[in-house]
């Protein structure tokens, strides 16, 4: 019984490591290695860095 429990823990550990590596690879594939769009998206135009810079400088007060 003791050997079976240790074997099960080892299998679960390996399965979790493999799952983590696959999810990490999928994340890199989707989000990190894709080309950035040349044109700004609507969200970038609406929530760009200009309003944040004005808030940091104390504008609109």
Q: The domain containing residue 29 runs over which residues? A: 1-37
Specify if 28 maps to a domain: yes
Q: How is 1-61 classified by DSSP, letter by letter? A: -HHHHHHHHHHHHHHHHHHHHHHHHHHIIIIISSPPPSSPPHHHHHT-HHHHHHHHHT---
Q: What is the pTM of this model?
A: 0.48
Is residue 19 very low, low, confident or very high in pLDDT (cuts 50, 70, 90)?
Answer: very high
User: Average pLDDT for residues 29-44, to the nearest whole number?
Assistant: 70
Is residue 59 very low, low, confident or very high in pLDDT (cuts 50, 70, 90)?
Answer: low
Number of domains in the chain: 1
Of all residues in the chain, what percent carry a pLDDT higher than 70? 54
Specify if 47 maps to a domain: no
- pLDDT, residue 47, reads 72
Specify if 59 maps to a domain: no
């Amino acid at each position: 019984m003791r050997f079976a429990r240790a074997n099960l823990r080892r299998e679960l550990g390996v399965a979790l490591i493999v799952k983590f590596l696959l999810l990490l690879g999928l994340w890199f594939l989707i989000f990190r290695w894709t080309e950035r769009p040349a044109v700004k998206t609507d969200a970038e135009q609406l929530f760009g860095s200009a309003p944040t810079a004005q808030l940091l400088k104390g504008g609109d007060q």
